[in-house]
Amino acid sequence: MSKLNDQIVDITRELEKKNLQLLNALTTVKKIMNTDPLTGVFNRRAINKIIHREISFALRHKLPLSIVMVDIDYFKKINDTYGHEMGDYVLKKIAQTIKKSIRKEDIFGRYGGEEFILILPNTDIEKAYQVAERMRQKIEKIKFKGIKEKITASFGLTELLPNDNIKSIIQRGDEALYLAKNKGRNRCEVKLA
């Protein structure tokens, strides 16, 4: 009987060990699924899940929520002039700069190519503008080793409206971003309707 108990204890320990390994593997898989491999920030897949939750929460509790779309100006020129490796370096450096500059509750991710998104819970458009302008200035001051010209970014901002969904708020943020691009780049623009 003692031998049987020892075997059960050994099997239980082995199962606990395997369960821990599976849990660690699952955590790793989830991280890989939700993280942009180049910049280390959330990817579009994760952002879409998060923004859905944040919109729902903000609407339910009648809290402000702002979205900031960020696009690196003339990024194709950077890749064409300095190569894709340098372009990757620029993306990483800008992502790190923004990530270090936001609050813990803010959500930041790569939305595609050279475009990023910042979700600012409990933040009205005036405060969001201050955040975006601070980011714009920080990016403008970054010195990129091996690049002569200044790298800048354009910012499109919007605030959650009562009838918004993911598609409408992102579209409005993109429209604000294109407005910033059309008005000369390296600027922040707001679109509220």
Catalytic residues: 114
Instruction: Fill in the DSSP letter of residue 122.
Output: T
Q: Name every residue whose Cβ is closer than 8 Å to that of residue 130 and which is 6 or more positions away in sequence.
A: none
The dihedral of CA 50, 53, 58, 59: what is its sign? positive
* Cβ(191)–Cβ(174) below 8 Å: no
* Cβ(114)–Cβ(75) below 8 Å: yes
Instruction: Fill in the DSSP letter of residue 187.
Output: S
CA 13 to chain CA centroid, nearest Å? 40
* Cβ(70)–Cβ(120) below 8 Å: no
The CA distance from 101 to 95, in Å, is 10
* Cβ(51)–Cβ(115) below 8 Å: no
